[in-house]
Amino acid sequence: MLEDILADVNYNIEKIVEELRKRIKDNPDITETIEKDKIVYSRSGNDFCIIKIKKDHVEIDFVSSKTLEDPIRFSWKIKRNRKDKFDRRMHIRNMFDIDNTSGLIFQSYLSASEKNTKNKK
């Protein structure tokens, strides 16, 4: 199914998606779900990141916390959808931004982990 999503994108976008997947799936607590046009990442049933693959960029929506560190303002706030809890978005078009992107995704993972821990108490 992922091959179908990547069939229409350029080589650069394909490499970005491969690198993001590798970095995100490095943690065994993370579940990856590939859907028709997106990849959803969750921890303990809580979605914390969604990757939408476009022709010329990768769009990433994620959950943030009040302590989000984004000094270069690589992401921006978005209005929450009724069905999800994603409140920030970023776009990546080249590999130069992969470290910024994966850092923000990791913060989102930690935010989801903290919320999950609080919910269990």
DSSP string over 13-58? HHHHHHHHHHHHTTSTTEEEEE-SSEEEEEETTEEEEEEEE-SS-E
Structure tokens at 3: 């091959």
Task: Identify the pLDDT of residue 81.
Answer: 74
Task: Identify the pLDDT of residue 118.
Answer: 55
Structure tokens at 18: 């491969």
What is the per-residue pLDDT across 94-116, written as a single tens digit (0 to 9) for each? 999 999 999 999 999 988 776 65
Beta-carbon count within 10 A of 17 CB: 19
The domains located in the chain, with CATH, are 2-120 (3.90.1150)
What is the per-residue pLDDT across 55-92, written as a single tens digit (0 to 9) for each? 889 999 999 988 889 889 999 999 887 677 899 999 99
The least confident of 2-11, 33-42, 57-66, 93-102 is 2-11
